[in-house]
Amino acid sequence: MKPEKTYKKLFTYATVAEPRKDVGIRVVTRIQKARIIQIRVRAGVYSFFVLGTLTGLAPAGQNLWNSATESGFLQFASLGWSDGASVLGSWKTFAFTLAESAPILETSAVLGLILVGAYSLKRSTYYFSKMSVGTETSFATA
Amino acid sequence: MNTDEDLVREIKKGDDASFHILMSRYMKHVFNFILQYVRVREEAEDVTQDAFFKAWKHINRFKDGMKFKPWLFTIARNTALDYIKKKKAVVFSEMDQTDSDGEAISTFSDTLTDEAPLPPEIFANKELGSQLDVAMNILHPDHRAVLIMHYHEDMTFEEIADTIKKPMNTIKSWHRRSLEKIRDSLVHIRP
């Protein structure tokens, strides 16, 4: 018999131990606990972002309003309603003036906050709903 | 039946049931592997639990193209070594460079000669199983692990080298010298 085969045969005599069945159960329990902590942390983080964006929206909105007023954007924009015919006649000039006076940075800030706030609200709602349902079901289908 | 890699893909999507299947598939194998390092059964069970938890926690580090068994056994080995270090505060860098007898590892000459076969009368010994366990006990944990991975888990030397993070020649050297020690031990104690 080739040496490799004799040693292969030898190791069939080696003791093969069985772990207790509760080792697997302990792993599953530990994973479920880790999942619960993960969900709570994520719910907390996204809630923090929601609060943060809500807190930031008021000053950002005020800032946007102030910039739009100071730059004259609001006055120019209102011309479109009050004197539509003149605006149509010189629409290129009107468009350039509007673009120049538009508070781009402030608008981006407000839109960004709304997007982040909406996404955070969606995720925090998802994770809070998972907290109430629980995570025990995921192993049950095995 | 789903392959290990298919199940890992599902686990990454959040399917814990697939992890449960993988865990059931490898529980006994990982436990026996860890037992080569942690020789107390109850402690080996604790380390096995830690190893599987770590595998779940770091599942996103398993990339496409990798083989699951060597990856899992690497985690198991690292978990076992961490446990031993905590328990005994052994400086493991010493173990890496020499074998359990303190001899420097020769990676070239040791790989040249083939292993001598076992005398066939050894298999007539009714106490062979327990004598083999005694013979294994004198080996370095990594050397035991190499034998278990090669003969029980049917892993190639390349996979074993990848698991233990040593050059293949070192693994082959450990393998050959461990078999020599076991053969000598069994030949001396047989009736």
- Along chain B (191 residues), what's the average pLDDT of each consecutive run of 10 residues? 90 91 95 93 96 96 93 96 82 45 43 65 82 90 94 93 93 93 81 52
Same domain, B106 and B42: no
A81-124: per-residue pLDDT in tens?
A: 777 777 777 888 888 888 888 889 999 999 999 999 999 999 99
Provide, as residue numbers in chain B, all residues whose Cβ is less than 8 Å from the Cβ of A30: 49, 53
Same domain, B105 and B168: yes
Instruction: Report which of residues A6 and B191 the model is more confident about.
Output: A6
Q: Considering the entire predicted model, what is its pTM?
A: 0.74
pLDDT of residue B58: 95
Same domain, B98 and B179: yes
- Test A30 with B53 for CB contact under 8 angstroms: yes
Of A7, A15, A24, the CB nearest to B129: A15
Quick one: average pLDDT of A43-57?
95
- Test A17 with B35 for CB contact under 8 angstroms: yes
Measured CA to CA in angstroms, residue B190 lies from A5, A12, B186, B187 at distances of 20, 18, 6, 6
Per the structure block, which two tokens stand in for A11? Answer: 């190791």
Same domain, B131 and B98: yes
pLDDT of residue A134: 61
- Test A7 with B151 for CB contact under 8 angstroms: yes
- Residues with Cβ within 8 Å of B174's Cβ and at least 6 positions away in sequence, in order, are B99, B105, B140, B142, B143, B146
- Test B31 with A13 for CB contact under 8 angstroms: no
Same domain, B139 and B51: no
Quick one: average pLDDT of A60-86?
84
pLDDT of residue A90: 81
pLDDT of residue A128: 92
Domain finish residue from B49, B73, B88 = B88
Of B24, B118, B129, the CB nearest to A6: B118
pLDDT of residue A62: 93
- Test B16 with A17 for CB contact under 8 angstroms: no
Domain finish residue from B88, B123, B145 = B88
Provide, as residue numbers in chain B, all residues whose Cβ is less than 8 Å from the Cβ of A1: 117, 120
Same domain, B57 and B9: yes
Same domain, B55 and B100: no
Domains held by chain B: number: 2
DSSP string for residues in B83-127: HHHHHH---HHHHHHB-TTSPBPPSSGGGTSPPPPPPGGGGG-TT
